[in-house]
Amino acid sequence: MFKSITLLGVLASTVVATSYNLVDNFVGGSFLTGFNWEAIPDPTHGAVNYTDQAFAIAQNLTYTSSDTLILRADYTHVTNYPTGPGRNSVRIRSNKEYTTAVTILDLRHMPQGCATWPAFWTTLESDWPDNGEVDIIEGVNDVSPNQSTLHTTAGCTMVASTMSQTGTLVTTDCNTADNGNAGCGVQTTKASRPNYLPVILGGWYAMERTTSQINIWFWARDDTSVPADVSSGAASVVTSSWGLPVANFVSTNCNFDHFGPQNIIINLTLCGDWAGAVYPSTCPSTCTNYVNTEPAAFENAYIPIDSIDPSSPMQWDIAWLKVYE
């Protein structure tokens, strides 16, 4: 459990920093037992067909080794969405739910390119949006920067002057019923979106959730300021040593009763409500037609941890995921 609370008074708000101990360590094959591969219709109406674990492994959409989890979409078949199923892809959800916790993802690579909509986030699907949603990594169509966003029921807003962070608040109303469910989002000034990750070999994303704050950090692989307890995946972490977060969501204008127990979700959808709606003119054809007719565009070449190849595979390449309480 968490312990030894320290307070950092910065700007107009106070970042609550706590020491946490490791409770779950997912690496390689342990993802297969710790997560559920959700074979469900895409709630965001993407041109994908989410598959179960057995099918994903058989079709090489999921691959594990001692220190790697690969998640990707099919790149061999022409599809006919929406008349028929979309492109086979993956969406995984942790078996456990978490509340007050720190989650750290060591990420080598994430999907990128036209039509892609990768996300690393937390929610309780059976009680959405009443239990809230925290988007840690999210972006579409290879457009920078990364955006971290909260989605809630009515009565939760963010005000920039109350947030101690390095990122920029771009939307303030967290209510899913307003503004097309844009949520309240913070964009990072760091190069954290996938078009940059191949060059710097990924990095670490962290989210701390307490009863009054939700903090999100990102450190690139070549960032010399990354805390040692983060980069090493230590047995305990102390968030007070991590510096200002990219996003500091606070309870000043948002009762954190909006957030209940949540699962961790990692997925790759294509087109859909967001990526399809803002599909850029610089990308080929229409979003759905591109996904249907260009399977080779989604081919995933594995890039090892010590590679400096700046190519852009459309896949999740995850070293580990750790949860601390």
List 38, 133, 294, 299, catalytic entry: 133
The predicted pLDDT at position 300 comes to: 56
The amino acid sitting at 40 is I
Report, as an integer, the average pLDDT of 285-307: 74
| pLDDT computed for residue 190 by the predictor | 67
pLDDT confidence of residue 3: 42
Q: Are strands 68-72 and 3-10 parallel, antiparallel or unpaired?
A: unpaired
What is the reported pLDDT for 313?
A: 57
* Mean local confidence (pLDDT), 146-158: 96
In the predicted structure, residue 309 carries a pLDDT above the cut 70:
no
At 183, the amino acid letter reads G
97, 125, 138, 294: which one is catalytic?
138
pLDDT at 185 over 60: yes
pLDDT for residue 11 is more than 90 = no
Query: Residue 142: pLDDT band by 50, 70, 90 thresholds?
Result: confident
Give catalytic status of residue 138 as yes or no.
yes
Asked if the model's pLDDT at residue 311 lies above 60, the reply is: no
pLDDT above 70: percentage of residues in the chain = 86
DSSP 270-314: ESHHHHTTT--TTSSS-HHHHHHH-GGGG------TT-------S
Angle at 264 between CA 315 and CA 173, to 5 degrees: 100
* Burial class of residue 180 in the structure, from the number of CB atoms within 10 Å of its CB (0-12 exposed, 13-18 middle, 19+ buried): exposed
Residue 173 tokens read as: 């109303």
Whole-number average pLDDT of the chain: 89
Q: How confident is the model at residue 310, as a pLDDT?
A: 41
pLDDT at 303: 31
Is the model's pLDDT at 24 over the cut of 60? yes
Residue, of 167 and 308, whose pLDDT is higher: 167
Residue 172, pLDDT above cutoff 50: yes
Could you report the per-residue pLDDT of 29-60, keeping only the tens digit for each?
A: 999 999 999 999 999 999 999 999 999 999 99
Reported as a single tens digit per residue, the pLDDT across 209-229 is: 999 999 999 999 889 999 999
CA distance 160 to 130: 24
pLDDT of residue 305: 30
Structure confidence by residue, pLDDT tens digits, 230-244: 999 999 999 999 999
Going by C-alpha positions, the residue among 266, 242, 273, 289 that lies closest to residue 111 is: 266
Percentage of the chain exceeding pLDDT 90: 78
Q: What is the pLDDT of residue 8?
A: 41
Phi, psi of 289 (to 5 degrees): -65, -40
Summarised one tens digit per residue, pLDDT across range 78-108 is 999 999 999 999 999 999 999 999 999 999 8
Identify whether 294 is a catalytic site residue. no
